[in-house]
Each structure stands twice: as structure tokens, then as C-alpha cells.
Amino acid sequence: MKISTGEKAFYKINNIVLFIISLSCLLPLIYIIATSFSSGAAIESGKVFLWPVDFTPAAYKVLIVSTDLFKYFKNSIVVTVVGTALSMIFTILCAYPLSKRKLFARRKVTFLIVFTMLFSGGLIPTYLLVKSLGLMNSYWSIWLTTLISPYNMLIMKSFFENISEELEEAARIDGCSEWRILLQMYLPLSKAVIATLCLFYGVAYWNSFLKVLMYISDSKGYTLPVLIQQMVFQLEQIKLGTNSDIGAISGSGDVISESVKSAGVVVLILPMLAVYPFLQKYFVKGVMLGSVKG
């Protein structure tokens, strides 16, 4: 089909706008990475923009030596992996029966779940509930309070509803139970949406900050976001004592608090950046599947 002049102009303008939006998202990330690898003198003089000046990894050395970075990193991995697995299991178990049109009170239950997207119990009641259940200083306080995302559940439910009923009827004729239909028919057909929701849950758990700060009082259980927050707060209040204190750790006197904070941010976002390319091909497909009927 021939594209009109107006359509060509629209596509060009659209591409330009999208390119500008992409740059607005990408440039801050590039700047943070460049700052983390630049010398203190270059940062203070404003020479750093999109490329490290006087390249040095000293800020990362300060971050590793002055904090128990690997312990916090391990805690974040535990929270993310276990939390994502639990959330996916219960999201699937919730979405599957609600996708069945014959389920009793299906619409009422769905409404109650959607209702929680608009109104919640509140921060203080949730905290008191977690405390009364004895979940303080336990990762279960994080996993149970964010176990199912209503939005993610609705995506999964919508996808299940679009799976052909004829396939399910054929499976029942062959004697398949509900569990077998779910595990051997629905889940293999749902790889794209499962990968997408794993990414959603994974990012949410990896960036968990407020819940860890509220429910985990033992510093041994802190995750990377809390470590970065504490480090930033400390550097803002006392600037790690003096720049010479930072230099004593890094072996270089040309490291400032700004580069150390940037290094912490890079360490925090690097795992998600590494995982995303492997799930990107499922991302758009997984979200859009189930959004169109028929």
C-alpha cells in the first residue's frame, strides 16, 4: 500500500520525538556511568558529561572497601529471586480460575482485587499487621505484602481468557485434570507473558526500599537500595569525613563523594540492565497478548 505524504511526515516527526524521548532517558544513565569512572578534579570542574575524564575505578574500590557490598548484593538477589518465584506462582494460581467464565462469583472476586488498586489498608495498618504476625526482620514481610500485583494478575488473566476453549475441551476429553491442563497446556503457551511479568516483579523486588527500611531493622538483612540510601545520606552529612579519608581507602587522593555515589547507582542498576536484553524480545509481545479479543 502506498504511503501518503502526510503519513511520511507523521512518521518522521514521530521518529524524531521518540528519539528525543529516548535520549532524555539514556543521557542521565550515561552521565552517571561517566561520573563513576572520572577523577574528583574533573567532576568538580564540570568537565564530565558523556565520557569519563581521567579514567579511574577508584570510586568502586571505595564502595567495596568501605561497605559490605557483596553481602547486600546477595540479600538483594535472595529477595528478588524468591520473591519473583512466589509472586509468579500465586499470580498464576489466581489468574487461572478467574479466567474461567463458569467460576461462581468470578466478577465479584475480580472487582475486589481491582478495588485494591485504588484503595489500600494504609501504611500504618499494614505495618501493625506485619508486626502482629511476627514477620519483622524477615523477608517474608516483603514477600507476603507484595505477593500479587493486581495489574500483573489482570494481564495474566486476560491472556488465559484468550486461549482457545477448544484446546481445553480436547484436553478434558483426553482425561486431563485442572492441574495438568494448567501445567502442560496453559503455561507452555504463556512463556511470553510469564517472562514479561517476571521482569515486572523482578524489577519491583530488586528496587525494594521502603518495605526493607520499615520491616528489616537488622542491618545484616539490608538490600542494595538501602545501602545506597545510607551511603548517600552519610556522604551528604559528613562527606565521609574528608576527601583524604576517601583517598586513604582508594589509594588515590582524587576521589570525591559524588563519584562514590554514582558508582553505587551503577552497581544497583547493572544487574537489571544485564537481564533485560534476554527478556526484551518477550516484553512487547507478552504485554500485548491478551489485550485484543478474538
Which pLDDT tens digits describe the chain residue by residue (294 residues)? 677 888 888 889 999 999 999 888 888 889 889 888 888 788 888 888 888 888 888 888 877 877 788 888 899 999 999 999 999 999 999 999 998 888 888 889 999 998 988 888 788 888 999 999 999 999 999 999 989 999 999 989 988 888 888 888 888 888 888 888 888 888 888 888 898 899 899 999 998 888 998 999 888 888 988 888 877 776 666 454 544 455 544 454 556 677 888 888 888 888 888 887 777 776 666 555 544 444
What is the distance between the alpha carbons of residues 68 and 24, in angstroms, rounded to a whole number?
33
CB 150 within 8 A of CB 117: yes
Where are the chain's structural domains?
A: 67-238
- Residue where the block lists cell 485494591: 116
* Of residues 101, 69, 89, the one with CA closest to residue 168: 101
* Of residues 143, 145, 151, the one with CA closest to residue 122: 145
Phi, psi of 147, rounded to the nearest 5 degrees: -65, -45
- Write down the pTM of the prediction: 0.81
CB 266 within 8 A of CB 73: no
Taking the CA of residue 146 as centre, how many other CA atoms within 13 Å lie in the half-sphere pointing to its CB? 24
Over the Cα atoms of the chain, what is R_g?
A: 24
Task: Give domain 67-238's CATH superfamily.
Answer: MetI-like (1.10.3720.10)
CA torsion sign for 93, 94, 95, 97 is positive
